[in-house]
Structure 1
């Protein structure tokens, strides 16, 4: 069976996506930095896996080689949350956000492209943006720049790779994951941010995974070039005054 390659599977959203894809009967190859987490998840899902730190661009070729050919899909569930006012941002902050979010996504797709094109049906690539690209939030300059680049990449690749490969992105709002713990660890702060969303709560990884599984599956075969918000309404709705 053709596999779906899931980057960031040792993170909260990546692991939830892997479980949702498995529930749809898809075969998986997982990648992430934590061997302990990946090994346990791979055992649960009968998946293969590669432990890698994609801060090293050379790792993409190894990950794809271990995933095998062909690939039915690629999910790049890798992200950062750098929240600093512009005056405090360093060159290193901005480069790290760009390299992990945007350039990392491009390099992952580049390395996997022959395997994706070898799929028996149109393959699916899923990347990740952020509600902060659509909405202007203070102290989000670095991550908004990086995720804005991801949105440009989605549209460029969707045009370039059609019809053999579909390319889409999900743009979440704040989701309860280990990465977001500095914002969600305080229940008082989490509750205040939750009330900024029309649905009155923060996201959970399963909210993101449900749409991700659809976008990777053939059921979304006529969807490409889209950035879809899973954000409790925050990108579009104002319910308080």
Structure 2
């Protein structure tokens, strides 16, 4: 089950965290993997781990804040590997522009544009390029967008990020419908809080970790391998009749009556920012 022998996969944001875990999981199942992210050094480290598993790895330094880079990245991946069967759009997150996170009254057009360029435009156009390639090959394939629980539940101070991920959820479903006749499947994973470098400030002490874990019915925060396991399934042949779906990997958070109690408790909107 879940054999990726002969498959060629491209994973963005693959230098660390969830992207690294997904790339390694694919390699363990037999795939060759092209790795895209901004940091060549991080990609080279992951590539060595993949080669140690006996698979081929290709390093594609890419800044996906530039939407034009997305199409070029897919072309480079195909050129390196000779084909493309799986694309995982994992790159995303904050954009280090004032106003990217925080109350809406304090955001800016620049933050909005940068957030949507990284979290909507680049993954969309990478997915379109990948779908065209998979259709032209006649093999079909799988496209997976990593979104967030913020995409479906509004989180105070995270509106730009959440709305961008919500847009990507909608595009995931529409693209899945449109490319289905070419046997290309398009799905998304919406993780909760997963322990990575990006979430480290929320989990810096054992007290903070336990506080965060208390909001999840399963009693712990997520790990990158939790998301990777879901990705292996959704991009496998065994999920051949699954498309246009969102899989929530949230430790049971969706089962709670107030999904964002933690956010409201720890990131309240200041009175000075209320409209």
Q: Same fold (TM over 0.5)?
A: yes
Comparing 38-47 and 200-209, the one that deviates more: 38-47
Task: Report if aligned partners of 2:64, 2:91 keep a CA contact under 8 Å in 1.
Answer: no
Alignment partner of 1:211 out of 230, 240, 243? 230
Comparing 114-123 and 50-59, the one that deviates more: 114-123
Hey, what's the Cα distance between the residues in 1 that align with 2:136 and 2:7? Answer: 10
**2:80 corresponds to 1:80:** no
Hey, what's the Cα distance between the residues in 1 that align with 2:258 and 2:150? Answer: 18
Task: Report if aligned partners of 2:71, 2:125 keep a CA contact under 8 Å in 1.
Answer: no
CA 1:58–1:29: 2 relative to 1, 3 Å: same
Deviation string 1:39-75 (CA, Å, 9 cap, x unpaired) is 1211221311211111122222332222114211100
Comparing 194-203 and 50-59, the one that deviates more: 50-59
Task: Report if aligned partners of 1:70, 1:118 keep a CA contact under 8 Å in 2.
Answer: no
Q: Which structure: larger Rg?
A: 2
1:86: how far off? 1.5
Comparing 56-65 and 8-17, the one that deviates more: 56-65
**2:209 corresponds to 1:175:** no
1:120: how far off? 4.8
Q: TM-score, normalised by structure 2?
A: 0.82
Hey, what's the Cα distance between the residues in 1 that align with 2:137 and 2:257? Answer: 43
Hey, what's the Cα distance between the residues in 2 that align with 1:190 and 1:91? Answer: 34
Aligned to 1:194: 213
Task: Report if aligned partners of 1:135, 1:235 keep a CA contact under 8 Å in 2.
Answer: no
SS in 1 for 2:198: helix
**2:118 corresponds to 1:100:** yes
- Segments of 5+ residues of structure 2 without an aligned counterpart are 1-5, 52-56, 95-99, 260-275
1:85: how far off? 1.6
Deviation string 1:180-229 (CA, Å, 9 cap, x unpaired) is 22222243333212111111111010000000011111111110000110
SS in 2 for 1:201: coil
Alignment partner of 1:62 out of 72, 75, 89? 72
**2:169 corresponds to 1:151:** yes
Q: Hey, which bits of structure 1, 4+ residues long, moved more than 4 A?
A: none
CA 1:121–1:237: 2 relative to 1, 3 Å: farther
Aligned to 2:16: 11
Q: Output aligned runs, 1:131-150, within 5 Å.
A: 131-150=149-168
Aligned to 1:222: 241
